[in-house]
Amino acid sequence: MSDEPPGDRSGGEDAPGWAAPAPAPGAPAPGAPAPAAPPAPTGSWALSPASGVGAPGTRAPRKRRGWIVALVLALGTIAAFGIAGTALFATRTLPPYQGAYDFLDDVTAGRERDAIDRLCAADRDDPEAAFSELGRRIGFGTTVTVNFLGVDRDGERAIVEYQVDLPGTGTTTGKSYDLPMREEGGDWKACPGAPLR
C-alpha cells in the first residue's frame, strides 16, 4: 500500500520527472535579488513630503467663494430698494392716485352725486363751477386713463395727471391734464376748480 492519498498521483517535487514551473516572462529568476526601487525624482519641480500636496488623505486647497458673497449682497441691496420703493408708493403715491381714479370714474360713469361727494370742501360749495372745466374735457362715456407715475405729492396736496380717450376711437387726445387733489379727513378729494381760484 502507498502512503499517497487516493487521487493524488503527481508525487510532488520528489517524484521522478517533476520540474519546477517556468518563470513568467519578465519575472526575476528564483533566488535572484529583487530589483532596486527607481530613484526619487530630483529637481525644483519635485514636491517635498512636508508639503502634503497630493499626499493620500489630504484635501485640495479650497477655492475662493468671494463672488457668491458679492452676488448675495447685490441681490439683497436690490430687494431692499424694491421693498422701500413699494412702501413709498403705497404710502405716498397710491392714496392720491386712488382718489383721482375714483373721482374721474364717477364723472365718466355719470354718477353725479358720488362725484360731488369726492370733491374737496372748497369745490363742494359750488360744484357747477368745479365741473365746468372738467365738462370741456370729459363727457359721459369718455374713457379716462389716470397715470400712476404722474403723481406729484407735496404733503396734503397732490397733482395727478390723466389723459382722455376720444369716444369711439380708442385713441388719446395726446394731451395730458392735471387734477389737483387734497387730503381732507384722511381721504383724498378732487379739487378741479382749484385752477379757477
Q: What is the reported pLDDT for 150? A: 83
Each residue of 142-160: pLDDT tens digit? 788 898 788 888 889 999 9
According to DSSP, the β-strands at 187-190 and 157-165 are unpaired
Grid coordinates of 124: 363742494
Q: Are 194 and 121 in contact (CB under 8 A)?
A: no
- The reply to whether CATH 3.40.630.30 applies to domain 84-196 is no
pTM for the structure as a whole: 0.54
Q: What is the largest CA-CA distance in the chain?
A: 144
- Percent of the chain whose predicted confidence (pLDDT) is above 90: 18
Provide, rounded to the nearest whole percent, the portion of the chain with pLDDT above 70.
56
Q: Where are the beta strands (DSSP E) in the chain?
A: 143-154, 157-165, 172-184, 187-190
pLDDT category of residue 75 using cuts at 50, 70 and 90: confident
Quote the pLDDT of residue 120: 92
Between residues 142 and 7, the one the model is more confident about? 142
The pLDDT of residue 127 is above 80: yes
Q: How far is CA 111 from the centre of its chain?
A: 43
How many angstroms separate the CA atoms of 7 and 16, rounded? Answer: 18
pLDDT of residue 65: 77
**3-class DSSP assignment, residue 70:** helix
Residue 174 pLDDT greater than 90, yes or no: no
Q: In this predicted structure, what is the pLDDT of residue 160?
A: 93
* Structural domain spans, the chain: 84-196
